[in-house]
Amino acid sequence: MPTQTKTKEGMSFSLNEEQELLKQTIRDFVEKEVKPHAASWDEKEEAPLSTIKKLGELGILGMPIDPKYGGSGLDMLSIALVMEELARGDGSLALTVAAHNGLACGHISNFGSEGQKQKYLPELATGKKLGGWGLTEPGSGSDAASMKTRAIKDGDHWVLNGTKMFITNGSIGETFVILAVTEPEKRQKGISAFIIEKEDKGFKAGKKLLKMGMRSSDTSELILEDVRIPDSRRIGEINKGFINTLMILDKGRISIGALAIGLAQASFEESMKYVNQRETFGKLLKEHDVIRFTLADMAVDIDAARLLIYRAATYACEGKSFTLEASMAKLFSSEMAMRVCNKGIQIHGGYGYIREFPVERYLRDAKLCDIGEGTSEIQRLVISRELFKKYGV
Amino acid sequence: MKIVVLVRQTPDTEAKVKVNSDGKTIDPNGITWIINPYDEFAIEKALKIKEQVGSGEVVLLACGPTRSEEAIRQGLAMGADRAVFIKDDKLEHIDPFVTSKFLANELQNIEHDLILSGKKVIDIESSQIPIFVAETLKLPFVTFVMKINEVDFGNKKITVDRESEGKHEIVEAKLPALITCDRGDDHPRYASITGIMKAKKKEIKEISLDSIDLNSLGLSKEDLEKGARTAITNMELPPARKEAKIFEGEIPEKVAALVKALREEAKVI
């Protein structure tokens, strides 16, 4: 078992005053500016750029960035709280933020040079530019050893060629972190990271991908054809790109897990409202034991996931290793969201299956959490690997 | 240029209010507390003035139980510079008159060119406190102000738009003055994350109830418990609204039925 801080009072499960205020502020914003529009954004399958701009004004697009570069400098637990509240209003918007913040900004913040941080972080932190991050390809994802995108050194420049797939913010982003193979024979230890700007010659977003859920989060292919960039655009050491990526993904998993919790919470709250309105067999839904028990199961499931996420995030805040905890939390939260959102639809019956009610959207959105930033299978792989390491098996 | 904003905490507009068994107070269990929405408009107006002037200070002043600190922090996170908080849990049920005496007393220790407040508190729908404060301090006051047109700190005057019972008035007052604010065209800003982080470090000066000389304010200890000028004798929830009547059938039939009901049942036509 992980070591726990023991105090007379036991472990603390309370948020501090600042975190409460943060959660409340984001909740107010979401109630007024996000929730009322989420369904129409989903119908249009377009990212709500004006709302994304407002997120920038609030500091949500610079959450992990040091205030020195114009960011908010939030700890991982606070970021998780924001992600949950955003997703409670709109999963797609939360996903836009997750890819921008956790992946693009996170990679440059953690591994970029001082010059790169000064050049790119301020405009990302304020939302003047949106960021995207490209690891996945048509033929590879977590299996980075199969990556095809190549970066070849040419004097003090690099020339990149390849195609990236399923890239969040692909067509609306302006600053991208792209992973490319620099030494093929070293497999995943021969991958480096580069900053690519939207205007770079030979770089373009490919077709916009139409998805089952998270439909107002922009997803597209990225195409790199002889994109020539100076060596100053390389992030971190050569061949350390994928190794650094693993650290970025650990934090990203906490964000996606928190996002899943927000969706489940939204489904739960809608269900709570509905059971107080709808009558069947002469009584309100809430008066049927089967419905009450379903709601009880939903609440337990959500809370269990929340505790796992809070633990992983707290470990990250304390500077402890949290790979195992983040993977456990992400796996449980995303599968939990599928169970809970499914039950939310079931409680609504026929109304749950039509788009007039939001619960069907929550389930469509939740499915992404099972797949993005490491599928559930990858999480099980990471968890078992970490456990075998720990038990010396 | 110093602006003081009077701030109160009220139950959330969506809170399900329950009356305690004493029939005189609200059961605080399960209530989410928020900053009084009209006070939020006042803070927004104060911050806008400060931004336009380019310098100055916005000070929040509150009088209430410990929990009110959440509302103060929220105001600080929006951008107010510091706060003064007359804090005691015994202040939970004091009446508007006593509150105004405490606020007016403390305002003598805070430099101010302008005092803003919400036009009313949404819990008991009272508009009394700021007016009592202005009267106690012998300050000019303007109520229900939609918009602050101009503040001229140099010549010590303020021009505002107020609306009341269908009238629209433009009023000029001498500074220092007290203004009670309505929404107007303002949308109170959301606290930014940086604002929230900064709020933690901003000063909230606490004034204890024990440090206040009640006699000098013309108050007694009993006034704190029973209310000096007003006492709540009974509190009850409004009766449940009657169910709506829906007429069925084709439109001509429905109209006929509606007209009949309006004439014979509601007796309004």
Minimal CA separation from A154 to chain B, in Å: 43
In Å, how far from its chain's centre is CA A301?
A: 20
Range A359-370 average pLDDT: 98
Asked whether residue B185 falls in the same domain as residue B261, the answer is: no
Contact criterion met (CB < 8 Å) for A18 and B197: yes
Is residue B232 in some structural domain? no
* B68 Cβ under 8 Å from any chain A Cβ: no
Give the integer Cα–Cα distance in Å for A140 and A142: 7
Partners of B78 on chain A (C-beta within 8 Å) are: none
Average the pLDDT over each of A338-342, B84-88, B248-252 and give the range with the smallest value. Answer: B248-252
Is residue B57 in some structural domain? yes
* pLDDT surpassing 50 at residue A1: no
Specify the pLDDT at position A3: 46
CATH of domain A242-391: 1.20.140.10
Minimal CA separation from B44 to chain A, in Å: 15
Tens of pLDDT, residue by residue over B31-67, are 889 999 999 999 999 999 999 999 899 999 999 999 9
Residue B36 belongs to domain with CATH number: 3.40.50.620
Q: Are A148 and A140 in contact (CB under 8 A)?
A: yes
Number of domains composing chain B: 2
Contact criterion met (CB < 8 Å) for A59 and B193: yes
Asked whether residue B124 falls in the same domain as residue B158, the answer is: yes
Range A184-190 average pLDDT: 93
CA-wise closest residue to A93 among A119, A129, A123, A56: A56
Is residue B235 in some structural domain? no
* pLDDT surpassing 60 at residue A381: yes
Asked whether residue B154 falls in the same domain as residue B251, the answer is: no
Give the integer Cα–Cα distance in Å for A89 and A86: 5
Both tokens of A376, joined, read 């559930």
Minimal CA separation from A69 to chain B, in Å: 13
Asked whether residue B50 falls in the same domain as residue B178, the answer is: yes
Tens of pLDDT, residue by residue over A285-296, are 999 999 999 999
| Proportion of chain B above pLDDT 90, given as a percent | 65
Tens of pLDDT, residue by residue over B163-189, are 888 889 999 999 999 999 999 998 999
Please name the member of B74, B192, B197 whose beta carbon is closest to the beta carbon of A58: B192
Q: Are A129 and A271 in contact (CB under 8 A)?
A: no
Asked whether residue B52 falls in the same domain as residue B164, the answer is: yes
Specify the pLDDT at position B44: 97
Spell out the domain ranges in chain A: 6-131, 132-238, 242-391
A151: confidence class by pLDDT, cuts 50, 70, 90: very high
Torsions phi, psi of A138, nearest 5? -55, -30
In chain A, the residue whose alpha carbon lies closest to the alpha carbon of B198 is A18
Torsion-angle region of residue A350: left (phi > 0), alpha (psi -120 to 50) or beta? alpha
Is residue B265 in some structural domain? yes
CATH of A6-131, one of 3.40.50.2300, 3.40.50.720, 3.40.50.300, 1.10.540.10: 1.10.540.10
In chain B, the residue whose alpha carbon lies closest to the alpha carbon of A20 is B70
At a CB cut-off of 8 Å and minimum separation 6, what does A297 contact?
A343
Mean of per-residue pLDDT scores for chain B:
92
* pLDDT surpassing 90 at residue A145: no
Partners of B194 on chain A (C-beta within 8 Å) are: 59, 67, 72
Tens of pLDDT, residue by residue over A115-139, are 999 999 999 999 999 999 999 999 9
Contact criterion met (CB < 8 Å) for B77 and A59: no
* pLDDT surpassing 70 at residue A5: no
Specify the pLDDT at position B228: 78
* pLDDT surpassing 90 at residue B14: no
Contact criterion met (CB < 8 Å) for A25 and B73: no
Tens of pLDDT, residue by residue over B66-116, are 999 999 999 999 999 999 999 999 888 888 999 999 999 999 999 999 999
Please name the member of A22, A24, A28 whose beta carbon is closest to the beta carbon of B193: A22
Asked whether residue B46 falls in the same domain as residue B113, the answer is: yes
Average the pLDDT over each of A245-254, A298-307, A338-347 and give the range with the smallest value. Answer: A245-254
Q: Are B237 and B23 in contact (CB under 8 A)?
A: no
Can you list the alpha helix ranges (DSSP code H) found in chain B? 37-53, 69-78, 96-107, 128-137, 193-199, 221-226, 251-264
Q: What is the 3-state secondary structure (H, E, C) of chain A?
A: CCCCCCCCCCCCCCCCHHHHHHHHHHHHHHHHHHHHHHHHHHHHCCCCHHHHHHHHHHCHHHCCCCHHHCCCCCCHHHHHHHHHHHHHHCHHHHHHHHHHHHHHHHHHHHHCCHHHHHHHHHHHHCCCCCEEEECCECCECCCHHHCCCEEEEECCEEEEEEEEEEEECCCCCCEEEEEEECCHHHHHHHEEEEEEECCCCCEEEEEECCCCCCCCCCEEEEEEEEEEEEHHHEECCCCEHHHHHHHHHHHHHHHHHHHHHHHHHHHHHHHHHHCCCCEECCEEHHHCHHHHHHHHHHHHHHHHHHHHHHHHHHHHHHCCCCHHHHHHHHHHHHHHHHHHHHHHHHHHCHHHHCCCCCHHHHHHHHHHHHHCCCCHHHHHHHHHHHHHHHHCC
Interface A:B, Cβ pairs < 8 A: 42
- Cβ–Cβ contacts within 10 Å for residue B263, how many? 11
Give the count of alpha carbons within 13 A of A351, CB side only. 11
Specify the pLDDT at position B5: 98
> What's the CATH fold of domain A132-238?
Butyryl-CoA Dehydrogenase, subunit A; domain 2 (2.40.110)
Strand partners, A160: A151, A227
Specify the pLDDT at position A393: 86
Range B126-137 average pLDDT: 94
Range A206-230 average pLDDT: 96
Range A11-25 average pLDDT: 89
Is residue B233 in some structural domain? no
Average the pLDDT over each of A31-35, A246-250, A255-259 and give the range with the smallest value. Answer: A246-250
Catalytic machinery residues of A? 373
Domain range for B261 is: 240-269
Higher pLDDT, B35 or B123: B35
CA-wise closest residue to A273 among A11, A63, A35, A94: A35
Range B19-35 average pLDDT: 87
Asked whether residue B201 falls in the same domain as residue B251, the answer is: no
In a 10 Å sphere around its CB, with 0-12 CB exposed, 13-18 middle and 19+ buried, how is residue A37 labelled? middle
Range A312-330 average pLDDT: 95
